[in-house]
């Protein structure tokens, strides 16, 4: 019984702290500051995603930009969403071209490396999946 009571108290305490931090967030920052904080986080995430070709990282940045666009009609977020789409398209083309060049040179290790990058960028890419299985 004491254990159950302790668990309930911990849960209530955690809930209270969570609610308090949300209300602090709401009252501490102006609307413009909130937008700038989210935008800066999204920019940082996008830059990290461009460096690593990580799909999840790029999708996190995309979600933040979409949030800013939908909730605040923040135009720079729309521009960044277009930039993310362009990055996906151009990087995919570049990696596919690099794979084709490596195939032409019979450089299997380079092919595998480019396919891995392609799979990080597009986890559902069937051609990259096929190579990673082999």
Q: CA-CA distance, 41 to 37, in Å (whole number)?
A: 6
Domain span at 69: 29-133
Does residue 33 carry a pLDDT above 70? yes
Residue 101: how many CA atoms within 13 Å on its side-chain side?
9
Question: Does any domain span residue 15?
Answer: no
User: In which band, very low, low, confident or very high, does the pLDDT at 20 lie, cut at 50, 70 and 90?
Assistant: low
- The enclosing H or E element of 124 equals none
Question: Does any domain span residue 2?
Answer: no
Looking only at Cα atoms, what is the longest distance across the chain?
A: 71
pLDDT digits (tens, 9 = 90+) for 100-117: 999 999 999 999 999 999
pLDDT digits (tens, 9 = 90+) for 81-105: 999 999 999 999 999 999 999 999 9
Question: Does any domain span residue 19?
Answer: no
Q: CA-CA distance, 106 to 95, in Å (whole number)?
A: 16
Per DSSP, helices labelled H in 1-134 are 2-28, 31-52, 55-72, 75-104, 108-121, 126-133
């Amino acid at each position: 019984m004491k254990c159950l009571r302790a668990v309930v108290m911990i849960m209530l305490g955690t809930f209270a702290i969570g609610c308090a931090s949300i209300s602090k967030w709401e009252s501490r920052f102006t609307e413009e500051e909130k937008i700038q904080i989210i935008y800066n986080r999204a920019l940082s995430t996008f830059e990290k995603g461009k460096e690593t070709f990580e799909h999840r990282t790029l999708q996190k940045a995309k979600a933040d930009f979409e949030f800013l666009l939908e909730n605040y009609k923040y135009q720079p977020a729309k521009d960044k969403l277009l930039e993310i789409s362009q990055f996906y398209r151009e990087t995919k083309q570049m990696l596919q071209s690099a794979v084709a060049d490596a195939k032409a040179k019979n450089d299997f290790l380079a092919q595998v490396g480019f396919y891995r990058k392609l799979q990080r960028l597009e986890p559902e890419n069937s051609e990259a999946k096929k190579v990673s299985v082999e």
